[in-house]
């Protein structure tokens, strides 16, 4: 019995000792946390004191007079632009310009630009705009705008310079891959009007869908074209080349047309409240039609979400070149009634968990842009061609106007068009292969 009591007492003593050891550990953790808070606050105060001291020294001794307001704007601008290529400080002028860009009508060039490897780079010219007609290409580096160097220029500054009244000229000096020297391109500003979706037929059973940018009409436009061609459509080529992006909900909606379940894209940031997951729904899905997606280095943001999600779900074959790599989320946060900051608050992640930012989407089939050179025998004349030629000559003699050749419909892509676009030709070939595999 004594032995039992000793054991029990020993157990009680152990528990008591453990309790005594546990309580001080709690105090130690609380004290450590408090010490950390004090250290953080002390570091913050020291940093602010250093900033204030530098501000005062520059204001007092700088060779050129500068106001405290100017110094503060420059300091805020430097802080934001050094975070990443998309964050920036918007002073009153830039903030107002952004409102005009969002709400008003303005003259522009029709290009989307970004900072890539420290250089102001064309993400993509928008189809049919002055920049596109002037010959600007994705990945062109803009060295000068009207003789003003773009080195250390922010995206917002560049956009503000390039924007202007309709009909006014602008000159861009660009560096293009494989060009021997910089190119000078003259462009006349115009009001930018974009047809975001259009469709064409390739042969009897392939539907070509071109999305130039993701505005609010994309999903409705695609659905309309898919329903119109539903009876004969046995394959789709979705062209997202030189598409700089746009509205997230339209990108999600477009993917949702082709998959019936699973994650499309997720948005993750430092603040848990900014984390969102966008998933597919089963209704209205065109999930059985063979799908090929065309991308290039001008495909960015929403285009990368669409192509990357379809690739991860193995719903479509991605063809072309590696995409731009713009997969971050920016918001405008006002700091006064007239000023704001544009800050990156999150990144997009594809269904597999991979990021787009600075990496882009790698195509399943890498195909460089180009055309196929055809070698027709210039000395051979087909019987049909000879007959047309003779009819024309006879009409001239008799004073008649020959009947014009019937032109191919603008809604149809013919073999000649495919030979001028190697990526599209490869996409059509793979679509036909998928049709054959599906029929087995």
Q: Is the Cβ–Cβ distance between 312 and 350 less than 8 Å?
A: yes
What is the CB neighbour count within 10 angstroms for residue 144? 16
Q: Which of 195, 282, 202 is nearest to 236 (CA)?
A: 202
- 408 CB contacts (<8 Å, ≥6 apart)? 414
Residue 301 a catalytic site member? yes
Residue recorded with tokens 């309580």: 23
**Concatenated DSSP letters for 114-176?**
EEETTEEEEEEEPTTSHHHHHT--TT-EEEEETTEE-TT--HHHHHHHH-B-TT-EEEEEEE-
In whole angstroms, what is the distance from residue 305 CA to residue 348 CA? Answer: 8
97, 301, 303, 328: the catalytic one is 301
Residues 137, 326, 425, 432: which is the catalytic one? Answer: 326
CB proximity list for 290: less than 8 A, separation 6 or greater? 234, 235, 236, 431, 434, 435, 438
How many CB atoms within 10 Å of residue 281? Answer: 12
Q: Respond yes or no: is residue 312 known to be catalytic.
A: yes
Helix, strand or coil, per DSSP, at residue 38: helix
Q: Is 299 a catalytic residue?
A: no
> Of 312, 328, 425, 432, which one is the catalytic site residue?
312
Provide long-range contacts, Cβ within 8 A and 24+ apart, for 431-440.
431/206, 431/235, 431/236, 431/237, 431/290, 431/292, 432/206, 432/235, 434/235, 434/290, 434/292, 434/317, 435/205, 435/234, 435/235, 435/290, 438/288, 438/290
- Catalytic positions are 301, 312, 326
């Amino acid at each position: 019995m004594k032995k039992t009591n000793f054991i029990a007492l020993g157990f009680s003593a152990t528990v008591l000792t453990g309790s005594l050891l546990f309580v001080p550990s709690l105090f130690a953790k609380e004290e450590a946390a408090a010490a950390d808070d004090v250290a953080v606050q002390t570091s913050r105060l020291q940093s602010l004191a250093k900033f204030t001291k530098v501000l005062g020294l520059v204001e007092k001794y700088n060779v050129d007079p500068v106001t405290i307001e100017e110094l503060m704007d420059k300091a805020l601008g430097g802080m934001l632009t050094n975070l990443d290529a998309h964050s920036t400080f918007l002073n009153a002028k830039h903030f107002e310009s952004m409102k005009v860009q969002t709400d008003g009508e303005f003259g522009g060039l029709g290009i989307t630009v970004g900072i890539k490897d420290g250089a102001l780079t064309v993400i993509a010219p928008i189809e049919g705009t002055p920049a596109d007609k002037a010959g600007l290409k994705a990945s062109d580096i803009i060295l000068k705008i009207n003789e003003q160097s773009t080195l250390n220029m922010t995206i917002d500054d560049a956009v503000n310079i390039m924007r202007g009244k309709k009909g006014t000229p602008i000159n861009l000096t660009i560096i293009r891959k494989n060009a021997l020297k910089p190119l000078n391109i003259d462009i006349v500003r115009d009001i930018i009007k974009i047809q975001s979706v259009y469709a064409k037929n390739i042969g009897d059973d392939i539907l070509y869908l071109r999305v130039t940018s993701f505005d609010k009409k994309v999903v409705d436009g695609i659905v309309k074209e898919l329903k119109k061609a539903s009876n004969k459509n046995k394959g789709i080529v979705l062209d997202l080349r030189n598409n700089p992006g746009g509205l997230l909900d339209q990108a999600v909606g477009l993917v949702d047309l082709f998959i019936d379940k699973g994650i499309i894209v997720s948005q993750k940031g430092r603040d848990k409240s900014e984390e969102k997951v966008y998933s597919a729904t089963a209704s209205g899905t065109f999930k059985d039609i063979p799908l090929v997606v065309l991308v290039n280095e001008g495909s960015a943001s929403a285009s990368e979400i669409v192509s990357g999600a379809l690739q991860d779900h193995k719903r479509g074959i991605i063809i072309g070149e590696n995409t731009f790599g713009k997969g971050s989320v920016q918001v405008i946060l006002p700091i006064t009634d007239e000023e704001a900051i544009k800050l990156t608050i999150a990144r997009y992640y594809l269904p597999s968990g991979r990021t787009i930012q600075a990496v882009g989407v790698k195509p399943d089939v890498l195909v460089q842009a180009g055309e196929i050179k055809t070698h027709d025998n210039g000395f051979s004349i087909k019987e049909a061609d000879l007959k047309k030629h003779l009819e024309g000559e006879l009409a001239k003699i008799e004073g008649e106007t020959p009947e014009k050749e019937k032109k191919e419909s603008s809604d149809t892509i013919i073999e000649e068009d495919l030979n001028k676009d190697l990526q599209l030709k490869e996409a059509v070939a793979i679509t036909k292969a998928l049709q054959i595999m599906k029929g087995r």
